[in-house]
């Protein structure tokens, strides 16, 4: 049904509070359409959830953003919250509980049945950024001595309770993971075949303490819908599925983009975050950048005392041009390296290869832009647009060599800073464009004035 038609039918029913009509309408819709209705009409979100069957309510609830989930949890009747929280897949429930305030989590734990509460507490016990927080204990495991026929019977009986039946896990009598087999391998052989005959021992598994960032990288390389999670004794504890990793990758991407833009991670949608918190998260970085930029003023004051700007006042005209070119070069390099590190294309061991490439590219880029800067001075002088004086060639050479130096510095600092931060276990994304630009400004003004002093020494009094 088209969204406009759905809205036309939905709104009168919602305004009337017609439960029978709403249930019939909502049962005919795709889960995604229901989620869009909730996003579009938040005033009716509780009404929508309350008129869905438990399974469909859970399916819609788990794809909503966190602020919407939090509102629904806090405003639904207790019995409906209990249904939702008990039926939520363990991994989705853990993600929700991790974001909620402690008092709310305690109340929700009381609403869970004993088995689900035990699972929730177990998953919440793992470190916040570990794979253990992502995994679900709902998987299918079999023993190597079973036949394919036994496995298929097992799937029919317990498959509905599993997160996925695409992959079957083989464990020994102690629960130690021995292998994993895709369902197609089971379906395409004789039912009398023993599972041990299908095993090849080649599988990838996470340790429960592995970082979530590592999970993203592994799934990116492996063509799998799910991967197992084990403890130090290789006992199978659960599985991580691709949908959770995609959600995590989106969260990481959003956070990195915000950091690259020069602000703290917001941790919630832009329009939902309180204005006071938004200002605080932006102000902290801006203050640091502002204090850092003061060093640029200090450097300029030093060179002003040498008389360089008094003797050749036109030098001041090119400061924004040269500083912005260096900052742009640094921002380019920083963004490229952060992205390459996130994709696993560049590691700490590649620092020299990165530096060598940026030395060459920075030099070539600087020479190109420097030549344009020199031509600009030449044209303005020859076309009588502006008179740079009798020593305009020296002015042009100053611009030429300054752009080479500043752009080369920007390329090096932009590429090396993410690697240095990674070395010291910090987030490379914090080496954002504004920070790189600030470093380039401070050192760039020194480079510019030093080159000007050397080339135009005879003109200074």
Of 64, 97, 125, which one is at a domain's C-terminal end?
Answer: 125
Contact 452, 388 (CB under 8 A): no
Question: Taking all residues of the chain, what is their mean pLDDT, rounded to a whole number?
Answer: 84
User: Could you tell me the pLDDT band of residue 375, with boundaries at 50, 70 and 90?
Assistant: very high
Number of domains in the chain: 3
Structural domain includes residue 261 = no
What is the residue range of 185's domain? Answer: 141-250
- What average pLDDT does this structure show over 86-105? 86
Structural domain includes residue 135 = no
Chain Cα centroid distance, residue 459: 53
CATH number (domain holding residue 383): 1.10.357.20
CATH number (domain holding residue 40): 1.25.60.10
Beta-strand runs (E) in 149-269 = 167-171, 177-182, 206-207, 226-230, 236-241
Structural domain includes residue 266 = no
User: Could you tell me the pLDDT band of residue 152, with boundaries at 50, 70 and 90?
Assistant: very high
Asked whether the predicted pLDDT for residue 3 surpasses 70, the reply is no
Helices and strands (H and E) in the chain: how many? 20, 6
In angstroms, rounded to a whole number, what is the distance separating the alpha carbons of residues 17 and 296? 64
CATH number (domain holding residue 232): 3.10.580.10
263-302, pLDDT tens digit by residue?
666 666 666 777 787 777 777 777 777 777 777 777 667 6
Of 217, 250, 283, which one is at a domain's C-terminal end?
Answer: 250
Residues making up the chain, counted from first to last = 461
pTM of the model: 0.62
- Among 445, 447, 434, CA closest to 327: 434
Neighbouring-strand partners of residue 236: 230
Asked whether the predicted pLDDT for residue 260 surpasses 80, the reply is no
**205 in the Ramachandran plot: left (φ > 0), alpha (ψ -120 to 50) or beta?**
beta
- Among 164, 197, 163, CA closest to 179: 197
CA angle 347, 333, 220 (to 5 degrees): 40
């Amino acid at each position: 049904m088209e969204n406009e038609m759905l809205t036309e039918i939905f709104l009168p029913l919602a305004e009337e509070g017609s439960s029978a009509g709403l249930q019939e309408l909502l049962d005919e819709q795709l889960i995604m359409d229901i989620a869009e209705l909730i996003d579009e009409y938040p005033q009716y979100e509780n009404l929508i959830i309350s008129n869905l069957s438990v399974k469909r309510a859970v399916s819609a609830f788990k794809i909503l953003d966190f602020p919407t989930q939090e509102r629904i949890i806090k405003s639904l009747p207790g019995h409906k919250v209990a249904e939702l929280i008990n039926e939520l897949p363990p991994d989705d429930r853990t993600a929700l509980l991790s974001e909620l305030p402690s008092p709310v989590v305690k109340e929700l734990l009381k609403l869970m049945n004993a088995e689900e509460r035990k699972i929730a507490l177990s998953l919440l016990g793992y470190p916040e950024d570990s794979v253990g927080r992502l995994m679900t204990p709902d998987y299918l495991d079999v023993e190597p001595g079973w036949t394919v026929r036994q496995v298929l019977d097992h799937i029919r009986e317990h498959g509905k309770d599993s997160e996925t039946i695409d992959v079957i896990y083989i464990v020994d009598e102690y629960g130690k993971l021995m292998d994993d087999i895709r369902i197609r391998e089971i379906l395409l052989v004789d039912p009398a075949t023993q599972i041990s005959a299908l095993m090849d021992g080649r599988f990838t598994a996470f340790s429960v303490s592995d970082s979530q960032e590592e999970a993203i990288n592994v799934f990116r390389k492996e063509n799998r819908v799910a991967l197992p999670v084990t403890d130090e004794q290789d006992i199978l504890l659960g599985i991580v599925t691709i949908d959770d990793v995609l959600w995590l990758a989106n969260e990481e991407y959003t956070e990195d983009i915000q950091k690259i833009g020069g602000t703290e991670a917001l941790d919630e949608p832009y329009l939902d975050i309180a204005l006071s918190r938004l200002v605080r998260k932006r102000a902290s970085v801006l203050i640091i950048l502002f204090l850092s930029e003061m060093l640029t003023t200090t450097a300029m004051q030093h060179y002003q005392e040498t008389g360089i700007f008094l003797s050749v006042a036109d030098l001041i005209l090119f400061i924004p041009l040269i500083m912005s070119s260096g900052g742009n070069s640094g921002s380019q390099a920083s963004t490229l390296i952060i992205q390459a590190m996130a994709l696993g294309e560049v590691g700490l061991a590649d620092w020299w290869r990165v530096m060598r490439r940026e030395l060459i590219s920075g030099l070539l880029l600087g020479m190109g832009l420097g030549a344009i800067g020199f031509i600009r001075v030449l044209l303005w002088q020859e076309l009588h647009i502006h008179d740079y004086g009798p020593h305009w060639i020296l002015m042009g050479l100053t611009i030429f060599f300054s752009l080479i130096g500043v752009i080369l510095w920007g390329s090096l600092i932009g590429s090396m800073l993410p690697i240095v931060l990674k070395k010291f276990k910090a987030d490379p994304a914090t080496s954002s464009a504004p920070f790189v630009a600030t470093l380039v400004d401070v050192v760039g003004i020194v480079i510019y004035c030093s080159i000007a002093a050397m080339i135009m020494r005879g003109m200074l009094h």
